Amino acid sequence: MSSLRFPENFLWGAATAAYQIEGAARDDGRGPSIWDTFSRTPGRVHQGHTGDVACDHYHRYAEDVALMAELGLRAYRFSIAWPRIQPDGTGPVNPRGLDFYDRLVDALLARGIDPIVTLYHWDLPQSLGDRGGWTNRETAEHFATYAAATYGRLGDRVDVWTTLNEPWCSAYLGYGSGVHAPGEQDPAAAFTAVHHLLLGHGLAARALRAAGARTIGITLNPADVRPADGSSAADAAAVRLVDGLHNRIFLDPLLAGGYAEDVREHVGRIVEPTFVRDGDEKLIAAPIDLLGINYYQPTYVAGRPDGAGGGGAYPGTDGAVEFLPPVGPLTDMGWMVEPAGLTRLLERIATDYPGVPLLITENGAAYPDKPGADFPGGPSQVLDTDRIAYLEGHLRAAHEAISRGVDLRGYLVWSLLDNFEWAEGYRRRFGIVHVDYLTQRRTPKSSARWYQEVISRNGL
Ligand code: IFM
């Protein structure tokens, strides 16, 4: 295959999230989050796994940062655990919680690694969950207060601030299908949460801007929605509906001034959208400096009157849409491998929502990663050639988007470490670094060494 160069200053890095790696669930005054509660509820998470210990990154961050430096990472995207900063979600700030991120940021900067902060990666303080979580408008206001407090401590050293990670998951998986915390199955609640998450973004972005933040963004997981049959009008209608519910319901208010009429109508058939108040859309549409894109696989749909729809994750699609099962080769999550979907998605967003720089804030794959026979003694080896192929394919796809004119600023692999994969627990391994959860030993996989080379060559 031909060699490829990425633009100068292309940002190479890796991403993680607090609840998935930190552990130390009760240390230094951290309060409980909805994920602590959810993972302790029987039947919610594979084998009752929790984030109590995870990768113990809270105590091993220095070792992890040293590893990042060894791999040559230029950027590290991590999330801040709101329950460490405000254990109850409101009220006084817990300085010991902020101290941890202070130490982490300093360690990164000392190694020349740019910190990229995500303020919310799903670990809502349980006290706010008890008051309705994201179905309660006040949660959005509290989020802005927390964002400002965090910026107050770290803003002198962190340039890039993103508000939410994948609000689609928080809203639809948390309140629609119930496979994520808080585990509700209520379509009206899911749409209410969508709006309050966007409002939380808008309020937090405004607070960050007022405090002097330079680069403010949000990370979405937009879907590359494809028709089963490109010549079918019914399939095109299904694409439009799913695109509205998954993509445009976020992208339009963020980047085009407000919700689209067809999306409003669809939502209005399920819930009277009284939660959208005057001024909300204007606030949400305030300009951002960066849009984070998380991409893993495409979504194929067909328009069918007897279609089962997408369940709680796509309210109101039953009797209209059939979601096609993924076709192989599949990752360990059962997800399709289709790098071209990344090119299409980046190009589509750059075309329909021009003017905002894009950053791939997550891309990667879970594979079973059987360690070599000499593991864990002797020289360790985890030969994850399938992951290398996945990453290489997607980097080529990202490069293709750049060559078609997309303003793509960087690529962050998901994930630095094997970690707690939400409802799947620890059984799915996304890391380029293997974690032995019994010993907490870290072993860079072949993909980590391959990625190190990519970074050092700034290309493939
Ligand atoms: O692990 C998650 C991450 O927290 C959010 N984006 C998708 C990843 C893989 O499922």
The CA 294 to ligand 1 mean position distance, Å, reads 9
pLDDT at position 2, please?
73
The H or E element containing residue 162 is strand 160-165
Q: Tell me which H or E stretch contains 71.
A: helix 57-71
Instruction: Output the CA 231–ligand 1 centroid distance in Å.
Output: 33
State yes or no: 422 annotated in a binding site: yes
Strand partners, 226: 300
How far is the C-alpha of 158 from the C-alpha of 271, rounded, in Å? 40
Pick the atom of ligand 1 nearest to 364's CA: 9
| Residue 362 is a catalytic residue | yes
Query: Of 338, 362, 392, 400, which one is the catalytic site residue?
Result: 362
Q: Is 421 annotated as a binding residue?
A: yes
Determine if ligand 1 sits within 6 Å of the CB of residue 418.
no
Successive 10-residue mean pLDDT values, the chain, 460 residues: 91 99 98 98 98 98 98 98 98 98 98 98 99 99 98 98 98 98 98 99 99 98 98 98 98 98 98 98 98 98 98 98 96 98 98 98 94 56 94 98 98 98 98 96 95 98
Nearest CA residue ID for atom 10, ligand 1: 421
Q: What's the order of all strands across the beta sheet hosting 299-303?
A: 225-227, 299-303, 321-323
Geometric angle at alpha carbon 203, from 81 and 82, rounded to 5°: 10
Amino acid (one-letter) located at 319: G
Task: Give the per-residue pLDDT at 369.
Answer: 84
Residue 372 pLDDT:
67
User: Are 444 and 432 spatial neighbours (Cβ–Cβ below 8 Å)?
Assistant: yes
The confidence score (pLDDT) of residue 303 equals 98
What pLDDT, on a 0 to 100 scale, did the predictor assign at position 380? 64
Return the ligand 1 atom nearest residue 422 CA. Answer: 1
Q: Which CATH number fits domain 11-457: 3.20.20.80, 3.90.1200.10, 2.30.30.40, 3.30.565.10?
A: 3.20.20.80
pLDDT at 259: 98
Distance 293 CA to ligand 1 centre (A): 12
Residue 227, strand partner residues: 301
Q: 272 labelled as ligand-binding?
A: no
Ligand 1 near 294 CB (within 6 A) = yes
Is beta strand 299-303 parallel, antiparallel or unpaired with respect to 321-323?
antiparallel
User: What pLDDT is recorded for position 376?
Assistant: 53
414 among the known binding-site residues? yes
Q: Is 414 in the pocket of ligand 1 (CB under 6 A)?
A: yes
pTM of the predicted model over 0.95: yes
Q: Are 429 and 369 in contact (CB under 8 A)?
A: yes
Q: Is the CB of 123 under 6 A from ligand 1?
A: no
> Strand 11-15 to strand 75-79: parallel, antiparallel, or no bridges (unpaired)?
parallel
Evaluate: CB of 184 within 6 angstroms of ligand 1.
no
Domain boundaries, the chain: 11-457
Residue 399 φ then ψ, to 5° = -65, -40
Could you confirm whether 166 is annotated as catalytic? yes
pLDDT computed for residue 373 by the predictor: 55
DSSP states along 179-209:
SSTT----HHHHHHHHHHHHHHHHHHHHHHH
Residue environment code for 278-288, b if the CB has 16+ CB neighbours within 10 A, otherwise e: eebbebbbeeb
